[in-house]
């Protein structure tokens, strides 16, 4: 893996939730290349094993644990396994999260009576919205409760949360996901203040639009061409393309590295190709 720059994370222990996904796995591999011992926490053991194997082939140390980030006992057990294998956690990347198609509206704008014939704001399932909020918000809070407890007063301890451009301005169709990510940005600031006296820095990355397994059927047609929604996104992104997963790495390494960003605390960094800077005119 080619890094934009090298930092020394030797003897550091990194835990990455959602570490088997497209974005999470890239961040986990980058931490490993820099010398960290990496624990991949996710649901699908087969995907976890693939990422762990790739890290080990590169000569780094990694373990993978199947975990439900909404189950605190699961997380405590995972923490014990990580501690036994590598030691206490120094770096926590809260990468678990995602959207759900049943928490989205069929159209960008409500128009009576036609919008009543499809999924719309009025018939969104409360249980689906609740699960989505739990996955994104509680799925960040609970791992932080479990792993940050042993990070107190550890030199260079840091938490990286994953927010989204949705947190700045909500996107059409996805009210629940936008709200959940706004909550992550708010939580990041709250945690940064709360932990400021015990040496734990808390920051977040806010990716713009990256093609992942979760959104590819929303952004790509069956023939691989851009969907109407994807075309709209590209038209509002000054760099006129989607992001590549490895373009998150430089910001993550900067935020993780104490010497580079030791006085950076409570920020949410957009990585969006200029999307948030563009007014549309």
Which of 275, 100, 248, 50 has its CA nearest to residue 160?
248
Contact 255, 163 (CB under 8 A): no
Beta bridge partners of 175: none
pLDDT of residue 268: 98
Contact 103, 129 (CB under 8 A): yes
Backbone angles phi, psi at 91, to 5 degrees: -130, 125
Residues with a known catalytic role = 177
**Number of neighbours of residue 87 by Cβ within 10 angstroms:** 13
Q: Rounded to two decimals, what is the model's pTM?
A: 0.95
Task: List pLDDT tens digits, range 227-250.
Answer: 998 999 999 999 999 999 999 999
CATH class of 13-208+245-270: alpha beta
Domain boundaries of the chain, sorted by first residue: 13-208+245-270
**Number of neighbours of residue 88 by Cβ within 10 angstroms:** 15
Give the CA count within 13 Å in the CB-facing half-sphere of 139.
Answer: 26
SS3 (DSSP) at 44: coil
Task: List pLDDT tens digits, range 25-52.
Answer: 999 999 999 999 999 999 999 999 999 9
Q: Is 39 exposed, middle or buried (0-12, 13-18, 19+ CB in 10 A)?
A: buried
Residue 64 pLDDT exceeds 90: yes
Task: List pLDDT tens digits, range 248-274.
Answer: 999 999 999 999 999 999 999 999 999
Which of 45, 35, 33 has its CA nearest to residue 13?
35
CA atoms of 90 and 148, how far apart (whole Å): 8
Contact 31, 9 (CB under 8 A): yes
Q: Is the dihedral of CA 149, 198, 144, 40 positive or negative?
A: negative
Q: Which residue has the higher pLDDT, 216 or 168?
A: 168
CA atoms of 67 and 265, how far apart (whole Å): 28
Task: Scan for tokens 């989205």, then name that residue.
Answer: 104
Task: List pLDDT tens digits, range 112-127.
Answer: 777 777 899 999 999 9
């Amino acid at each position: 893996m080619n890094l934009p720059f090298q930092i020394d994370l030797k003897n550091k222990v990194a835990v990455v939730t959602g570490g088997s996904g497209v974005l999470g796995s890239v961040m986990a591999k980058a931490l490993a290349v820099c010398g960290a011992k990496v624990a991949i926490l996710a649901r699908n053991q087969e995907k976890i094993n693939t990422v762990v194997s790739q890290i080990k082939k590169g000569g780094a140390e990694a373990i993978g644990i199947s975990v439900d980030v909404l189950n605190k006992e699961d997380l405590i057990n995972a923490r014990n396994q990580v501690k036994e294998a590598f030691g206490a956690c120094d770096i926590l990347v809260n990468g678990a999260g995602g959207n759900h198609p049943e928490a989205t509206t069929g159209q960008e704008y409500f128009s009576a009576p036609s919008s009543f014939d499809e999924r719309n704001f009025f018939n969104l399932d409360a249980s689906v919205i609740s699960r989505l909020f739990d996955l994104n918000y509680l799925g960040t809070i609970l791992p932080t409760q479990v792993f940050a407890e042993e990070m107190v007063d550890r030199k260079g301890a840091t938490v990286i949360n994953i927010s989204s451009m949705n947190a700045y301005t909500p996107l059409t169709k996805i009210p629940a996901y936008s709200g959940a990510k706004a909550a992550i940005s708010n939580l990041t600031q709250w945690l940064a203040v709360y932990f400021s006296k015990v040496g734990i820095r808390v920051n977040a990355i806010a990716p713009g639009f990256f093609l992942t397994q979760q959104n590819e059927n929303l952004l790509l047609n069956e023939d691989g061409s851009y969907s109407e929604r994807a075309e709209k996104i590209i038209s509002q992104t000054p760099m006129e393309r989607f992001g590549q997963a490895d373009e998150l790495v430089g910001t993550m390494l900067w935020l993780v590295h104490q010497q580079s960003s030791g006085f950076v605390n409570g920020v949410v960094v957009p990585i969006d190709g200029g999307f948030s800077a563009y007014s549309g005119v």
